Structure 1
């Protein structure tokens, strides 16, 4: 194995374990001899790829990696990160993608990425809708604390929206709680007729910005298995973006 392959394997191990790693981890997970593992980890520390926590005895990303990551994060906004990842998902699945944000208790559509599967209706950038009535809205509301969520549903705008609907606040709060627990929200034949969607939300720790992104597809394709498959794809994507933006509110559980 080349030094580049070895370095990539060690860094990938850190990503998979989601923590700092020890030399014993490298030995057990990568099957590397102890002498080789010690030498390689020492070299990676010397060149700045890794940094050792002497108290815990673990290796973490070093100053070189952190500096490069910071440079990239300064060049790309949260929406840019999401856009790149969502375009890949749209190409992979053929479904339509949306990026949205919360604005004055409503969901505001920022970008639309068209897929190969035709939708009964397309929601265009600039469109607004009640946050509680969409999967993207519920994904973003799931990032709220309990007190923030209470204030949201008590706001005059939301009370006005609910007064003309058949929605029950308790059921909506439960739906948001479910999105918080699972890490994603879904909607089938709700705000858009004959359409299904699955959404995740992700934020940027540097500026508290947060956006939701979703895949939308015809309701006829929305089997339980397909909803779960899309949810896993979106959650993996959200977790990967969160690692780049420092978001700590992401639910890592699958």
Structure 2
């Protein structure tokens, strides 16, 4: 096994264990002889790939790894990750993609990526909608704690939006809870007539940003099988992005 492969396996083990690792972890999990494991870990520490916490006896990512990670995080934003993933999905499915964010209790459309499948109505960047009435909104609200969700529905703007409608807050909260459990949200003929959408949300803990991204398509294509297929694609993309940003809220498998 080359030193590059050994280093990669040790770093993968650190990711798998979600924390510092000991020489004993390398021995037992990677099947490496004790003398080899000790020597490799010492070399990786010397060159800055790892840093040893003497009080715990564990190895953590070293200054070289952290510096490279910081450089990448500064150059590639959450929006960049989401945009690249969504463009790929739009190309694969032919559907229209949207990237949105929460702004003052409303969903604000940031970007639209046109697909080959024409939509009855296109929602343009800058458009706003009640967050509780869209799949992208529910995907983002699902990231809230119960306290944050209570405060959201108690806010003057949301109370005003719901006034005079037949929407029940308890049912809306239940819909957000379902989204939280599933890891994605769907909407069929809801905020946009004759249109279906499936949404996921992902965040960047370093910047405290979170965005939702969705695929939208004509309502007549929204069979249960198609909704599930699109949800699977979006969820896979969200998990991949979360792995790059360190977002621990995107964890539930479909």
TM tier relative to shorter chain: 0.7 to 0.9
Give matches, 1:116-127, under 5 Å: 116-127=116-127
Aligned to 2:196: 196
Residue 254 of structure 2 corresponds to residue 252 of structure 1? no
Any conservation in 2 of the 1:184–1:235 contact (CA below 8 Å)? yes
Cα RMSD, aligned residues only: 2.8
Q: Size of the alignment, in residue pairs?
A: 253
1:128-164 deviations in Å (ceiling 9; x for gaps): 1111011110111122232332232223322232234
Could you state the TM-score of these two structures normalised by the residue count of structure 1? 0.83
**After TM superposition, what 4+ stretches of structure 1 lie above 6 angstroms from structure 2?**
none
Aligned to 1:182: 182
Aligned to 1:108: 108
Q: What are structure 1's unaligned runs of at least 5 residues?
A: none
1:82-132 deviations in Å (ceiling 9; x for gaps): 222322333344332211011222111001122333333322111111110
Aligned to 2:69: 69
Distance 1:134 1:46, change over 3 A: same
2:187 alignment partner, SS class = strand
Q: 2:161, 2:3 → 1: CA distance?
A: 60
Query: Which range is displaced more, 184-193 or 18-27?
Result: 18-27
Query: Which range is displaced more, 99-108 or 187-196?
Result: 187-196
Q: 2:92, 2:13 → 1: CA distance?
A: 26
Could you state the TM-score of these two structures normalised by the residue count of structure 2? 0.83
Q: What are structure 2's unaligned runs of at least 5 residues?
A: none
Shift of 1:174: 0.6
Query: Which range is displaced more, 200-209 or 138-147?
Result: 200-209
Aligned to 1:133: 133
Q: 1:222, 1:61 → 2: CA distance?
A: 45
Q: 1:102, 1:171 → 2: CA distance?
A: 20
Give matches, 1:1-254, under 5 Å: 1-248=1-248, 250-254=249-253
Any conservation in 1 of the 2:238–2:250 contact (CA below 8 Å)? no
Shift of 1:71: 1.5
Query: Which range is displaced more, 143-152 or 122-131?
Result: 143-152
Distance 1:75 1:220, change over 3 A: same
